[in-house]
């Protein structure tokens, strides 16, 4: 029997589910997945950015339910410190928390204009100014983190909480064929090539469910 349960929604559309799933994977947690259908009204509202709060992913472990992605990351760091989901150095740890918090709370224009959809490609997609500003800020964060840590991931040799938080952005950049600078493009390729990302994307492509409100944009 698995040590924990991770409640997620669509692997094709749910960026928050991907973040929580990566954190659990990289922490080495033994967990079973429980999937809530996109037809569930609460999940559908969340995917369409119409929900007042984000309830998936939800980690159920040791009698507790933890449904906020940052809280999941912090909890997993506490119970699996050897996974190094946060940097060891205090300054780097504070910086990591700051960029994770910025992803958690911001970039609304990017989320709305470039929804996550792993099964599709949109060549020639026009990115309007509000989303462009979000993209430029994200790329600046990546370049700053990679320069400070030396890479190949945002805070050093292995993927951590920040990489999990920004991994869905890499999929968006691929879906909409967003032009990137060489450093950011290489980072995206590195994230997308990770075994856990390959596993998630393969499962997303095999999903039978569709959310017409998201697919119709294509």
* CA-based nearest residue to 161, from 24, 68, 13: 24
Residue 158 maps to a domain: yes
Cβ partners under 8 Å of residue 152, min gap 6? 146, 187, 190
Residues 121, 32 within the same domain = no
Whole-number Cα distances in Å, 196 to 41, 121, 140, 162, 216? 28, 21, 25, 15, 28
Distance, CA of 126 to CA of 128 (rounded, Å)? 6
Q: Give the pLDDT confidence of 84-113 residue by residue, as tens digits.
A: 999 999 999 999 999 999 999 999 999 999
- In the DSSP assignment, the letter for residue 34 is E
Residues 61, 124 within the same domain = no
pLDDT at position 37, please?
77
**150 φψ region: left (φ > 0), alpha (ψ -120 to 50), beta (else):** left
Residues 43, 63 within the same domain = yes
State the angle between helix axes of 129-149 and 182-192 in degrees (0 to 180), rounded to the nearest 10: 80
Mean pLDDT value of segment 55-81: 95
Whole-number Cα distances in Å, 22 to 101, 126, 140? 17, 30, 23
Look at 47-61, 63-77, 127-141, 153-167 and tell me which has the smallest mean pLDDT. Answer: 47-61
pLDDT at position 215, please?
57
pLDDT at position 50, please?
62
pLDDT for 211 beyond 80: no
Residue 213 maps to a domain: no
Residue 151 maps to a domain: yes
Residue 128 maps to a domain: yes
Higher pLDDT, 199 or 215: 199
pTM reported for the whole predicted model? 0.92
pLDDT for 21 beyond 70: yes
Residues 42, 95 within the same domain = no
Residues 74, 147 within the same domain = no
Residues 54, 120 within the same domain = no
Residues 74, 94 within the same domain = no
Average pLDDT, the chain: 91
pLDDT for 218 beyond 90: no
Distance, CA of 172 to CA of 93 (rounded, Å)? 26
Residue 71, domain CATH = 3.40.30.10
Residue 106 maps to a domain: yes
Mean pLDDT value of segment 207-212: 70
pLDDT at position 208, please?
80
Domain count across the chain = 2
Residues 76, 109 within the same domain = no
Enumerate helices (H) and strands (E) in the chain, giving the number of each: 10, 4
- Residue finishing a domain among 83, 99, 124: 83
pLDDT for 48 beyond 60: no
Residues 123, 161 within the same domain = yes
Residues 21, 96 within the same domain = no
Residue 209 maps to a domain: no
Residue 179, domain CATH = 1.20.1050.10
Residues 37, 94 within the same domain = no
Mean pLDDT value of segment 154-177: 98
- Residue finishing a domain among 36, 51, 83: 83
Residues 120, 25 within the same domain = no
* Enclosing domain of residue 35: 4-83
pLDDT for 39 beyond 60: yes
């Amino acid at each position: 029997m698995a040590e924990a349960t991770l409640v997620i929604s669509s692997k094709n559309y749910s960026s928050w589910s991907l973040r929580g799933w990566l954190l659990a994977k990289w922490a080495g947690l033994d967990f079973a997945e429980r999937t809530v259908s996109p037809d569930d009204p609460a999940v559908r509202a969340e995917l369409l950015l119409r929900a007042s709060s984000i309830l998936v992913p939800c980690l159920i472990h040791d009698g507790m339910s933890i449904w906020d992605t940052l809280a999941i990351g912090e909890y997993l760091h506490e119970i699996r410190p050897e996974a190094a989901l946060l940097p060891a150095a205090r300054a780097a740890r504070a910086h990591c928390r700051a960029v994770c918090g910025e992803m958690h709370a911001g970039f609304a224009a990017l989320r709305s204009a470039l929804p996550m959809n792993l099964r599709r490609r949109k060549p020639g997609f026009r990115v309007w100014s509000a989303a462009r500003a979000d993209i430029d800020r994200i790329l600046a964060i990546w370049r700053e983190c990679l320069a400070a840590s030396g890479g190949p991931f945002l805070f050093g040799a292995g993927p951590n909480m920040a990489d999990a938080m920004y991994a869905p952005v890499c999929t968006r950049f691929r879906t909409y064929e967003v032009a990137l600078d060489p450093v950011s493009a290489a980072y995206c390729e590195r994230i997308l090539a990770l075994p856990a990302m390959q596993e998630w994307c393969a499962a997303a492509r095999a999903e039978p469910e569709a959310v017409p409100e998201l697919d119709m944009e294509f």
